[in-house]
Amino acid sequence: MPLAYPPFKSCPCGSGRSYAHCCGPAHDGSRPAQTPEVLMRSRYSAYALGNAPYVLATWHPDTRPSDLHLNPATRYLWLKVHEACGEEVEFSAALQVDRGERYVLRERSLFTQVDGRWFYVDDITPPTLDAPEG
Ligand SMILES: [Zn+2]
């Protein structure tokens, strides 16, 4: 079950707005994300809140995993959106697992619109850009 999150608290995606005026309406279905960047932020918030159903529901059926297990020991420290252009969003997210080392995940995501709704398709980060060799 997703964690309950106070609507007046600042949104986990780091927008500076309250959850009720940021990712909350996307999560509860009252206002689906209107752009890839908004969807990307709401998916990050969903990961942070352990809301696996939302992550799956916004994943394109062609690439969606059949099951998604979010590790409750993973902390989502911050999100930074570098570029949002057309159907692509490039971002960095800082994570920490089991209070261990922090690491930063950088990804360029591809989104697509189906029947007026945005869906996450895949990570299209060029493999030479940031991935360490070997
Ligand atoms: Zn948000």
- CA atoms of 49 and 40, how far apart (whole Å): 14
Taken in order of first residue, the domains within the chain and their CATH numbers are 19-123 (3.10.450.50)
Q: How far, in Å, CA of 126 to CA of 119, rounded? A: 20
Residues with CB under 5 A from ligand 1 (ion): 11, 13, 15, 22-23, 41, 45
For tokens 């809301």, name the residue. 51
- Please tell me the distance between residue 70's alpha carbon and the centre of ligand 1 in angstroms: 19
Q: How far is 14 from 42, CA to CA, in rounded Å?
A: 11
Residue 128 has pLDDT above 90, yes or no: no
Q: Model's pTM, two decimal places?
A: 0.91
Q: Name the pLDDT band for 129 (thresholds 50, 70, 90).
A: low
